[in-house]
Amino acid sequence: MQENNILEVSGLTTEFHTLSGTVRAVNNVSFSLRKGETLGIVGESGCGKSVTALSIMRLLDRRFGHAYGEYIRFQDQDLLTLSDKQIQNVRGNEIAMIFQEPMTALNPVFSIGNQIGEALEKHLGLRGREKKQRCIELLRSVNIPRPEKIVTEYPHQLSGGMRQRVMIAMALSCHPCLLIADEPTTALDVTIQAQILELLQRIIREQAMSVMFITHDLGVIAEMADRVIVMYAGRIMEVVPVRELFAAPAHPYTIGLLHSRPSLVAKGHKLTCIPGMVPSLLDMPPGCPFADRCPRAEADCRSSLPELREIAPGHAVRCFHA
Amino acid sequence: MDDIILEVNGLSKNFPIRKGIFSRTVGYVRAVSDVSFSMRRGEIFGLVGESGCGKSTTGRTILNLLTPSAGSVVFNGHELFNVERKRRIDPTEMRGLRKEMQIIFQDPYASLDPRMNVGAIISEGMVKHGMYRRAEALERAKELLELCEMPAASIHKYPHEFSGGQRQRIGIARALALEPSFIVGDEPIAALDVSVQAQVLMLLQDLIAKLSLTTLFISHDLGVVRYFCDRIGVMYLGSFVEMADSEALFARPAHPYTQALLSSMPKNTPDEQKQKIILEGDVPSPANPPSGCRFHTRCRCRQEICSQQTPLLREIEPGHCVACHLA
C-alpha cells in the first residue's frame, strides 16, 4: 500500500443473484483514495456507485449478493478478509457513511440521542451523562438549533435537512478518517442542499477527512470533489482530476453527461443528449458497455473491452478512441 | 387581449387539518394563497419553488382537479370557477374542456395503471371523449407513440416492461392523445436520470413547438426552468415572490428569496466564482405561516415593515414583478 493512500481497492466485483440470473453490478473496479482527498464518484442510477460503497463497507446482504476481488486495503487491513466482528469495529468507527434518504436510514422508534449514542457507547465506551453531553456537542457542531431538545426527539419530528444533519453528526461521532457520503443531498431542496454542502465542506476541512462522495449531480461534484471517477454499467470509464473533468473530459460518456445539463446551454440553443439507454446488466455486450450509445463507436468497440489507460498524468480513460 | 389563454385571479387553496374522532377541522394548511397570473397562447410558463411551496397544488387547482378555496380561473374564454361569485362550470362543459387541458405527472411509475397495456392507457381518453372508435383509437395510439419516439409495437406491452424514461414518454403520449391546447407538466423529468432527462426535455420541446402547446411547467430544477421556460414565477410558501421573463429573472433577480435560491444552485464548473447566500433554517409550516411577508423569518434584508405588512406583487420593470417592500 502506498503511503499517502488511505484506501486501495483492487479488482472489486459485486454480484447479485436474481431470479433472472446473476447480475454483475460492480465489475472489476480498482481505484485508490489519497489521504485528505475528496474523491467524487459520479454516474447514473444502476451504474454501481452505491454498490461499490456498500461493498467496501461490507454491508451487502449475503443472501442476495456478494463482493469479491483482490483486496480492499484500508490502513493496514484488508476489508475483504476481516471477520464480521472485526469489520464491525471499523464500521462507524474508522469508516463512516452518510446515506441518501435520512428518513429511511434513521430508525423511527428510537430518539435522536439514542441513535447517535449507540456508536459512542459501542466504539468509545461512553455512558450516561457523558454520552448525552457528547451527543449534544455533536448536534451543535452540525448547526442544529436547540440541541438539548432535539436529542430527545424522534426522526419524524425533524425536517429533511435536519435529519441529514443528524446523519452527519452520527457519522462524525467517532472521528472517522474515511467518510463515505452516498448522495447526501439528493433528497433535499436546493437551498437546504447548499446548507448541507457548506457544512460538509467545513467539517472535511477541519477534520482533514478523506471522503468518497457519491452523486449523480455534476454540479455537486464541481463543488466538492478533488478527483472524480465516472462509472457506467458497473465499470470505471474515466478517472480524472476535477478541473480536467470539466475542462477536458475524454470519455464520450463523460462528454455526453456534461452536455446533457440544461443549466449550461444558452436559451434557444439545442440541448444535446445521449441517445438510447443503459444496457441491461443481465445482458451485457462483450465490448465496451457504452458502444451502442456512443457517437465514436467503431467495430473494435463492440468486439472487445478497452482497458483503462492513462492519457495524461492522473487522467485515465476506458476508450479506444479518446 | 384575445391571445390570453389562461387567466388565474386570486387563486387560493386550503387543505383542512382534521383531528379527533369526529374529524373536527382544527386549522388549515394554506397551500396556495392569492396567486394571480395569466398565460399567452404558446407560452411556456415555469413555476419554481422548493417542496411544499404549492406549485403542484396551483397546477392541479387550475385544472379543476382540486376544489379551489378562493379565486377564479378563466381558460380560453370559459370560466372554470369563480369562488367569490359562487360560480362553477357545469360538469358536461368541463368534460368537453378536459380534452383541451391535460397533465403530465411526475412519477412515471405511479401514474400508469400497471394492469392496462400501453394501447389501452393511451386510447382510453380518446374513446371516452368519443373522438375515435376503439380500433381507430389504437391506430392513433401507435402514431402518438411514434411521435414520442417509441416503437408502435409497444401498445401491446405493459408499463412494467419499460424504463422510467420510456414510461414518461407513454405519459406524454397519453396527455397528447386528446389533442390539448394546454398542458401542465408537473415535474415531468424530476424522477429521471440526467441523460434521460435531456432526452425527454428535448422531446417535450419539439412537441410543444410542433403542436403549438401552451405549457405550465412545474419544476424545482432552476437549470431546467431557465433553459426551458419563457417566463418564470417563483413561489414561496404558497405565493409568488417574483415573476419575470426567464432571462431577466436570472440576470437581475430582485427578491431576496430568488437571489438566495439562484445562488444555492451548485457551481457549473469548479473554477466558477460564486457568492452563495445560505438561508438559515427551514421553510416555516404552511399551516401557520409567518405574518406579513412570508419570507421575513429567513430574509437577510428584513426590516420592521416586513413582519407587519404583506407585500403585494408590483412591477419594477416591464414584465418583472416582485413582492417585496424593499426591492
* A97-128 per-position pLDDT tens digit: 998 887 788 999 999 999 999 888 888 888 88
Fold of B4-100+180-322: Rossmann fold (3.40.50)
How many Å lie between the alpha carbon of A248 and the closest alpha carbon of chain B?
12
- Asked whether the predicted pLDDT for residue B226 surpasses 90, the reply is yes
Q: For residue A190, what is the nearest residue in chain B, using CA coordinates?
A: B264
Contact A257 B247 (CB under 8 A): no
Residue B283 clears pLDDT 90, i.e. is over it = no
Sorted by where each begins, the domain ranges of chain B are 4-100+180-322
B273 touches chain A (CB under 8 A): no
In angstroms, the CA A117 to CA A170 distance is 8
Mean pLDDT of A154-175: 90
Instruction: Provide the chain A residues 176-235 that lie in CB contact (below 8 A) with chain B.
Output: 189-195, 197-198, 216-220, 222-223
- Asked if B269 lies within 8 A of A222 by C-beta distance, the reply is yes
Cβ pairs A/B, distance under 8 A: 118
Least confident stretch, B113-122, B190-199, B202-211, B229-238: B190-199
Which residues of chain A are within 8 Å of residue B270 when distances are taken between CB atoms?
222-223, 242-243, 246
How high is the pLDDT of residue B2?
A: 59
The answer to whether the Cβ–Cβ distance between B260 and A191 falls below 8 Å is yes
What is the C-alpha separation between A188 and A158, in angstroms, rounded? Answer: 13
Contacts of B242 (CB under 8 A, 6+ apart): B233, B234, B249, B253, B254, B255, B257, B258, B320, B321, B322, B323
Contact assignment for B278 to A44 by CB distance below 8 Å? no
% residues pLDDT > 90 (chain B) = 71
Mean pLDDT, rounded, for B119-131? 92
- The minimal CB distance from B194 to the residues A223, A246, A260 is found for A260
A91 φψ region: left (φ > 0), alpha (ψ -120 to 50), beta (else): beta
Pairs from B280-286 (Cβ < 8 Å, separation ≥ 24): B281/A145, B282/A159, B282/A161, B282/A162, B282/A192, B283/B50, B283/B52, B283/B53, B283/B236, B283/B237, B284/B237, B286/B29, B286/B30, B286/B31, B286/B52, B286/B54, B286/B237, B286/B238
By C-alpha distance, the chain B residue nearest A254 is: B195
**Alpha helices for B105-189 (secondary structure H):** 118-128, 134-147, 164-176
Q: Across the interface, which of B228, B246, B264 has its CB nearest the CB of A194?
A: B264
A295 touches chain B (CB under 8 A): no
Considering only A74-78, A99-103, B10-14, which range has the smallest mean pLDDT? A99-103
Span A196-204, average pLDDT:
92
Look at A75 and A33; give whichever has higher pLDDT. Answer: A33
Give the gap in angstroms from C-alpha B261 to the nearest C-alpha of chain A.
6
Mean pLDDT of B176-189: 93
Q: What is the pLDDT of residue A103?
A: 79
Instruction: Please judge whether B227 and A159 are an interchain contact, meaning their C-beta atoms are less than 8 angstroms apart.
Output: no
Per CB-CB distance under 8 Å, the chain A contacts of B268 are 219, 222, 246, 261, 263-264
Q: Please give the model's pTM, rounded to 2 decimal places.
A: 0.89
| DSSP of A120-169 | HHHHH---HHHHHHHHHHHHHHTT-SSHHHHTTS-GGGS-HHHHHHHHHH
Residue A245 and residue A237 in contact, taking contact as beta carbons nearer than 8 Å: no
Q: How confident is the model at residue A270 (pLDDT cuts 50, 70, 90)?
A: confident
pLDDT tens-digit readout, B15-70: 998 888 888 888 888 999 999 999 999 999 999 998 889 999 999 999 999 999 99
Q: CB–CB of B266 and A260 under 8 A?
A: no
Residues B68-107 pLDDT 10s: 999 999 999 999 999 999 999 998 999 889 999 999 998 8
- Tell me if chain B has a CB within 8 Å of the CB of A243: yes
- Whether residue B1 is predicted with pLDDT greater than 80 in this model: the reply is no
- Is A310's pLDDT higher than 90? yes
